[in-house]
Amino acid sequence: MNFTAALIAEFLKGSVEGDPHAEVNDISKIEEGKPGTLSFLANPKYEKYIYDTQSTIVIVNSDFQPQKEISATLVRVEKAYESFAALLRLYEQSKPKKSGVSKMSSIAETASMGDDLYVGDFTVISDKASVGNGVQLYPQVYVGENVKIGKNTILYPGVRVYDDCEIGANCVIHAGAVIGGDGFGFAPNQQNNYEKVPQVGKVIIEDYVEIGANTTVDRATMGATIIRKGVKLDNLIMIGHNVEVGENTVMAGQCGVSGSTKIGKNCMFGGQVGLAGHLNIADGVKIGAQSGISKSMRKENSVIMGSPAFDLGSWQRCIAVFRNLPKLSKELFDLEQKVNELTQ
């Protein structure tokens, strides 16, 4: 399907600079632009590509001031990145939705199945599971006993949902994720061996959550591990037992959260952040990549980094000193030599 610059601008409530009849039928990165495609420019680091791109239409911020002539038609909007994301969502929604139940799937007679479903090959739905309307279960998904899945949720290939777990509506769980595996609970006995502590709780995932590929969310020892509404978890994240992640919190890849830690709403964690167990993280806390958190962070909207992590401003000043340590060490050595010469 072709879209004109005028139509795109109307949808995004923007303005056209150039040919309003210019048409596109695909998308591309601005540095790899091709005729007939749509690109966007939001990060100033990529501005150099806009002057040579072959893209037919480029979405830019309304305050963008080109330094040279641009051959592409521009669509000016308030926020280019958000506008491009809105177009991608529209493009995604225009794709045909999968439907139908494969004859090679296994659905227990006691399972409750909604309408307008997609159930792929070799997917297993166990006893007393409840699957809502519009749910899509791709091939080789496992849904355990008493599991509840809300309407319009998508589970991609190979997702495993253990018994008794609950997943809300409009969630997306990507391939290989495991929901409700046992928490890491072991107790040493008198023979200095470790005995497993049974994990009899569950996982509750609220609405509009997205969980990346190969991420694991462990079931609680007792009670529930809870992922609140709107949380976004990247690939390869580990959420321990009895953890609670607050609304609209986001985590980048390879984060690890130890058991019983409570994370507030609207937090942002960079990649490879690690949190010790039984901590409390306040609302709005931002943690830089590769930081290690060993104590609770109770100040809302604080920005921290490092291992152990502390205030970002102090961390940056410490790093400035750390980078100069070789020079400072040499200066100190030279100073000691001079002092020794003077004292002799």
Question: pLDDT tens per residue, the chain (344 residues)?
Answer: 789 999 999 999 999 999 999 999 999 999 999 999 999 999 999 999 999 999 999 999 999 999 999 999 999 999 999 999 999 888 887 778 899 999 999 999 999 999 999 999 999 999 999 999 999 999 999 999 999 999 999 999 999 999 999 999 999 999 999 999 999 999 999 898 999 999 999 999 999 999 999 999 999 999 999 999 999 999 999 999 999 999 999 999 999 999 999 999 999 999 999 999 999 999 999 999 999 999 999 999 999 999 888 888 887 888 788 788 888 888 888 898 888 888 88
**Where exactly does CATH 3.40.1390.10 map onto the chain?**
3-94
Residues tagged active-site: 241
Is the separation of the CB atoms in 43 and 54 below 8 Å? no
Torsion of CA 160, 271, 242, 190, to 10 degrees: 100
Q: What is the pLDDT of residue 295?
A: 95
Angle at which helix 80-94 crosses helix 5-12, to 10 degrees, equals: 110
Q: What is the pLDDT of residue 332?
A: 87
Residue 119: CA count within 13 A, CB half-sphere: 21
Q: What is the pLDDT of residue 173?
A: 98
Peptide bond into 308 cis (omega under 30): yes
Q: What pTM was estimated for this model as a whole? A: 0.87
The CATH homologous superfamily for domain 3-94 is MurE/MurF, N-terminal domain (3.40.1390.10)
**Where exactly does CATH 2.160.10.10 map onto the chain?**
100-315
Residues sharing a CB contact under 8 Å with residue 235, sequence separation 6 or more, in sequence order: 174, 212, 213, 214, 215, 253
Reported CATH class of domain 100-315: mainly beta
Q: What does DSSP assign to residue 182?
A: P
Separation between Cα atoms, residue 64 and residue 266, nearest integer Å: 30
- Express the helix, strand and coil content of the chain in percent, nearest 5 each: 20, 30, 50
Q: What is the pLDDT of residue 276?
A: 97
